[in-house]
Structure 1
């Protein structure tokens, strides 16, 4: 069964906002989105995200524009554990299944859905390919997702941790972020 959603977040962390058109088809996610922010400098972001079965990132294509330049990143996962950025192999990311676009609440969806952490107890430690915004630098990021509670409407609360950063995120029943304290809050509509 396919579910299409248009999601918009207020993103105080960037003093901006983001909208995404997302489609869940079985255990595959396809999305395209746009974000505008003013921190750390004014920028526009456009992205396309594709996953393979199991919500494993297959490709993230991002364009960032600032007053000084425009940059594009083509981040790919080969389905066997290997990653490339603009065709260059990234050996430090072996075993990572997910990308994580900085300041983007949508990319928290894949690990939460894969492990049903918005619905059931559990904790997962994982390596992600984290993309900083707006410079589009790719870095390895160790992250932990921990189910905390079920919430009304079939969603759940999940603790996200990376390094010393921690935040308790609320997800809806489809696995999309509703509230990410300190980063983003979904705008109703």
Structure 2
């Protein structure tokens, strides 16, 4: 089964907005997104995200621009837990299965879908390839997701990393509706991806 969505979030964490064109096909996800923000500085960015089976990140390609210049990142996962960026190996994130693009509510979806945390009780801790925005540097990040309960529209899942905690509302397909402290969905519609 294939489902396509266009989601727009107000990103309170960046004082900006993001729109993502998302295609879910079986246990894979493809997305193309655009975002503008004013924190930590004024920026715009675009990204393309592709996963393999079980929603394991295959590639994240991000382009960002600020008043001080532009950055580009092509983050690749070999399917065996090893990552490269611009051809350079990133051993500090070996073993990670997911990318996490900073200030982007979409990239919380993959670990939740893989483990069904929007459907049933459970708690999982992950090593993530976290990408800082807008400088696009890659860091190792330990994150824990805990299913708190079902809601009328999906589920509430607690996200925790370091001292930060937020109870994130996901819809029935595992896509973020409300992420207190980061983003709130403004609109959703079914549509084709842009060319």
Output the TM-score relative to the length of structure 1.
0.98
Tell me how far 1:188 sits from its aligned partner. 2.8
Q: Give the number of the structure with larger relative contact order, counting CA–CA contacts within 8 Å between residues 6 or more apart.
A: 2
Q: Give the aligned partner of residue 192 of structure 2.
A: none
Q: SS state of the match for residue 152, structure 1?
A: coil
In 1: Cα distance, 2:102 partner to 2:126 partner:
16
In 1: Cα distance, 2:181 partner to 2:27 partner:
29
Tell me how far 1:45 sits from its aligned partner. 0.6
Q: Give the aligned partner of residue 97 of structure 1.
A: 97
Q: Give the aligned partner of residue 48 of structure 1.
A: 48
Q: Deviations over 1:38-93 (max 9, x none)?
A: 00110001000000000000000000001110110000100011000111001111
Q: SS state of the match for residue 54, structure 1?
A: helix
In 1: Cα distance, 2:65 partner to 2:119 partner:
37
Q: Give the aligned partner of residue 162 of structure 1.
A: 161
Runs of at least 5 residues in structure 1 that lack an aligned partner in the other structure? none
Q: Give the aligned partner of residue 60 of structure 1.
A: 60
Structure 1: 4+ residue segments shifted above 6 A: none
In 2: Cα distance, 1:151 partner to 1:84 partner:
38
Q: SS state of the match for residue 92, structure 1?
A: helix
In 1: Cα distance, 2:58 partner to 2:71 partner:
20
In 2: Cα distance, 1:116 partner to 1:47 partner:
25
In 1: Cα distance, 2:54 partner to 2:37 partner:
31
- Give yes or no for the alignment of 1:14 onto 2:48: no
Q: Deviations over 1:75-128 (max 9, x none)?
A: 010001100011100111111000000000000000000000011000000100
Q: Give the aligned partner of residue 29 of structure 1.
A: 29
In 1: Cα distance, 2:58 partner to 2:144 partner:
21
Q: Give the aligned partner of residue 176 of structure 2.
A: 177
Output aligned runs, 1:99-118, within 5 Å: 99-118=99-118
Q: Give the aligned partner of residue 193 of structure 2.
A: none
Runs of at least 5 residues in structure 2 that lack an aligned partner in the other structure? 189-195
In 2: Cα distance, 1:54 partner to 1:39 partner:
33
Tell me how far 1:12 sits from its aligned partner. 1.1
Compute the RMSD of aligned alpha carbons: 0.6
